[in-house]
Every structure is written in structure tokens, then in C-alpha cells.
Amino acid sequence: MQTRSLKFRAVRQIRLAFPRLARLSGRWATLIQSLPPGRGGLTLPKGALFIAPDGAGSLGDSAMMHAGIAHLRAQGVEQFGVVYPQYGVETPDWSHIPHVTESIGVRYKPEDYLARSRQSLGNYWQDLRRFRQIAQAYGQVYCIGADVMDGYYSLEICDFLTDLMAIAASTGAQTTLVGFSFNQNPKPRAVQALKALPPAVRLCSRDPLSQARAQRQLDRSVELVADAAFLLEPTQTTAQVQTLLEWIAHQRQANRILVGINTNAMLLRAVEGLTVERFIGHYAHTLTRLVEDESELSFVTLPHDDRDEIHDVFLTQRLLEALPESIRDRCATLQLPCAPGDVKTVCGQLDLVVTSRMHVAIASLGQSTPTLSITYQDKHEGLYQHFAIPQLLISPAAAFEPEGLVNFIQTYLPQRAALRRHLEARLPMVMELARSNFSAQPAPQEPS
């Protein structure tokens, strides 16, 4: 019985890893060709298909798709679909992204149980065949790379995305990996998966450091772009956003200086020994000290994610509860859910933003608002190279020194007007790089 159990487990692991093993053994192209052909007869692309690395909950991924769809619509593309990794039977709601005409779930691996292993593997391959048909029908496929392609968060999702890009390219669809980051120590399996992609797949890296790392690791051409979310248009989609903008206007009339504060739960993993209590206490101390030295300050808290047990919204609520009433009275919050364009609108009304969320920084920098970032995963450094502002970065360890964040903010708050002018001068080049995600022609390279 034990031998049989071990055999079943071994068979299951082979099935779960099958696409990766096939690709690594050189048989991937043969497997792709064995899939039934898609709907033929298309000579020109009639739409654009976006591959999302996650369900509908990521505000950053949503920002990139919002922006990409709007940009392509302006170029005459009329039909848009979203493909996403299917977990179980739950179907995400993509209605918050305008102009998406269909959303398609694809199992990102066979289901993890033995009793129906043959059926689950069959369902998995059925999904891949269906995706091949859809990719060929749309003609243009854009995979949202973001920060998952180096394997740091999930090797399975990296495999899933590279498998779908390989299938799409095999149909002749124009296939692009849009704006991805690459850290200093990518997982070897992720590197191998990207190296195995067909040459026809465009690889677009969203910052100079990631581009250099990817080209070195992959030994192939990687185009320099900027994050597609820079193309996002500001919006006001809800009454609460309008109410917040009115509050900001009242603060302006009172000659208040407005600072945006994002409390990112990811920092809890970036600083050894950092607890929720210490995190909250540090931010509460920082805001209190800032007001003691500059009485004209007001704050807008900018939570950007609510998907985990401890998330930005939870930390924001805890921070507001921990503040003295006199400080809490000069705070307002951009509530979730909201559209990514709403975040950009609010950031554009602020004097300074302090964040460690990549897409809060992009929303803010895209409005030329000076933005201080607490780095993690060595990905903000490349973003800030686009704007030549490395001085606006601080490590988590330095930020959580007793007066680290206070001193950092106080250094650059008086420079906010000059910093805004600098960002305004750099933004047109960054926007051109962002547009090049959706162009076969590389964008002009930015000056050093």
C-alpha cells in the first residue's frame, strides 16, 4: 500500500509539473502543435487579449489593464478580453474594467486531488486548447508581467504565464510580455521558463535595472519600457472620491500642506522583528512629530490592497485609531474599493506622497507629485531611475529607525516645489516609454 501511495504521489507531481517538464526537455513546441488549431481565417488582429497574473483583486494589475485598453482603443482596437488563472470554481468579476467584452478562466494547473486526476488533467488541457483558439482569434496578446516574472511570489504563476505566452505565439498572435520587473536573484526555474519563450514574444521590462538583469540572465533582447499604468487617466468614479476631493479643497483653503501616506503590509516582511504594533506605533509617531514641527500639515491615507489577512486597509484603520485626536482630525482616507484612476486623481492633489507600494508611486509620479518610497524587493530603484530621483528612496531598515521616517520626510518636504518641476520635465519621456509596451517599435531611450 505504501509503495502504491508513493507511486500515485509521484505520478501526480509529474502531472502538475508537466508543462514545465515538457518545455525544459525540448518537447514544448511539439506539444503546442498537437493542440487542435484555433479558429482560422483572420488576416488582421481584431482585438486584444490581456493575460492577468491574478484574479480581479489587484489594483496595480487593474491599473495596467485599464491603461492598456484605453491606449489601444485610441489606436482603433475595439474588442478586449481578459484571461486569468482559474482557482477552483469561483469566477472573478471583471466588470470594473471598462470595455472588456469577455473574461476567460484557465486552470493554472490540474486540480490537486487523485480521485479525479485523469479528469482534472483533461480539463486542464481543454482549457489550454480553448486559450489557443481565443488567442488566435484576438490576434494580439498582452501578458501583464508586473512583479511576478522572477518567481519571487510564485513559480507556478510564472510557469502559467510563460506557458500561455508560448501557446499564443505559436498561433501567430502578436504576443508581448508587458512591463515586468526582475529582481537581483530571480528563481532559476523562472529564468529557464523565460529563456524558453519563442523569439517572437516581445519582452518589455519596466525599468532600466530590470532590463539589464533580464538581458543578462536570459541572454536575449529585452526592451526598455515604463509601467503601462503611467498611461492611466485620472478618474472620479464614486461619491466618496468626490467627497475626499472636496475635503482636500477645504484643506487647501486653510493653507494646509497635504501629504499622502500609504501603509504597506509588505513591509512587515522586509524588516526583521517588525510587528504590527511596532509598525503602527512608528507611523503614529512619525505623523505626530511631523505636525509638531509643521503645524500646517494634513494627511490623506492611501491604502492600496485588501487581499490578505493583514493588509493596507487594516493597517490604515489601526493607524488612525492610534493617532491622537488632534492629528486624526486632520486625516482623511481614500476608501477601497475604488478605481485605479481615482488613486491617480487624489495623488495629483497632494503636495507629497510617502509609500512603498509600486503602483501608488506610479500614480503619484504620473501626476508629477513628489513621492518618497520605502523600498522592498529592489524594484523601486529602477522605477526611480526613470525620473533620476534616487535620493527619494529609503530602505525599510532606515525608515524604521526611531526618527528615520520623520527625518526623511522633513528633508524633502521643503523641496516639494522644485521636485515637482523636475518630475514634470522627466514625465514626457516616461510616458513615451509606457506607450511602447503596445508598439512593435522600441521607444527612444531616456537620457541618463
Share of the chain above pLDDT 70, in %: 84
Using pLDDT thresholds of 50, 70 and 90, give the confidence band for residue 44: very low
Using pLDDT thresholds of 50, 70 and 90, give the confidence band for residue 308: confident
DSSP codes joined into one string, 139-182: EEEEEEEET-TTSSS-HHHHHHHHHHHHHHHHTT-EEEEEEE--
**What average pLDDT does range 63-69 have in this prediction?**
96
Cβ burial of 388 (10 Å; 0-12, 13-18, 19+) is middle
Is 90 exceeded by the pLDDT of residue 349? yes
Using pLDDT thresholds of 50, 70 and 90, give the confidence band for residue 377: confident
Q: Where are the domains of the chain?
A: 2-224, 239-426
Q: Are β-strands 393-394 and 371-374 bridged in parallel, bridged antiparallel, or unpaired?
A: parallel
Q: Return the CATH architecture of domain 2-224.
A: 3-Layer(aba) Sandwich (3.40)
Q: What is the CATH number of domain 239-426?
A: 3.40.50.2000
In this predicted structure, which of 46-55, 82-91, 269-278, 422-431 has the lowest mean pLDDT? 82-91
Closest CA to 50 of 35, 65, 36, 39: 65
Describe the strand order of the beta sheet including 257-261 as a list of residue ranges.
Answer: 331-333, 297-301, 257-261, 352-355, 371-374, 393-394
Cα angle: 176, vertex 168, 20; to 5 degrees: 100
How high is the pLDDT of residue 5? Answer: 38
Using pLDDT thresholds of 50, 70 and 90, give the confidence band for residue 263: very high
Using pLDDT thresholds of 50, 70 and 90, give the confidence band for residue 230: very high
**pLDDT, greater one: 280 or 8:** 280
**pLDDT, greater one: 387 or 90:** 387
What is the 3-class SS of 256-268, one letter each residue? CEEEEECCCHHHH
The answer to whether 380 and 393 have CB atoms below 8 angstroms apart is yes
**Residue 97 backbone class (left: φ over 0; alpha: ψ -120 to 50; beta: rest):** beta
Torsion on CA atoms 64, 354, 323, 377, rounded to nearest 10: 70
- Rounded Cα distance between 157 and 162, Å, is 9
DSSP codes joined into one string, 283-330: HHHHHHHHHHH-TTEEEEE------SSS-HHHHHHHHHHHS-HHHHTT
Is 60 exceeded by the pLDDT of residue 26? no
Closest CA to 420 of 355, 350, 343: 350
The answer to whether 386 and 404 have CB atoms below 8 angstroms apart is no
How high is the pLDDT of residue 425? Answer: 99
- Rounded Cα distance between 175 and 177, Å, is 7
Per CATH, 2-224 and 239-426 having the same topology is answered yes
Report DSSP state, residue 392: G
In this predicted structure, which of 146-155, 219-228, 359-368 has the lowest mean pLDDT? 146-155
Is 80 exceeded by the pLDDT of residue 396? yes
Is 70 exceeded by the pLDDT of residue 408? yes
- Rounded Cα distance between 202 and 180, Å, is 11
Is 60 exceeded by the pLDDT of residue 27? no
- Rounded Cα distance between 154 and 62, Å, is 19
What's the mean pLDDT when you consider all of the chain? Answer: 87
pTM of model > 0.95: no
CA contacts within 13 A on the Cβ side of 47: 16
- Rounded Cα distance between 357 and 375, Å, is 9
SS3 assignment, position 84: strand
Share of the chain above pLDDT 90, in %: 71
Is 50 exceeded by the pLDDT of residue 267? yes
Is 80 exceeded by the pLDDT of residue 97? yes
Per residue in 108-138, pLDDT (tens digit) is: 665 554 445 566 667 778 888 999 999 999 9
Is 50 exceeded by the pLDDT of residue 164? yes
Long-range contacts of 320-323 (CB under 8 A, 24+ apart): 322/280, 322/281, 322/283, 322/284, 323/284, 323/287, 323/288
Is 50 exceeded by the pLDDT of residue 100? yes
Q: Which three cell numbers stand for residue 421?
A: 518641476
Is 90 exceeded by the pLDDT of residue 4? no
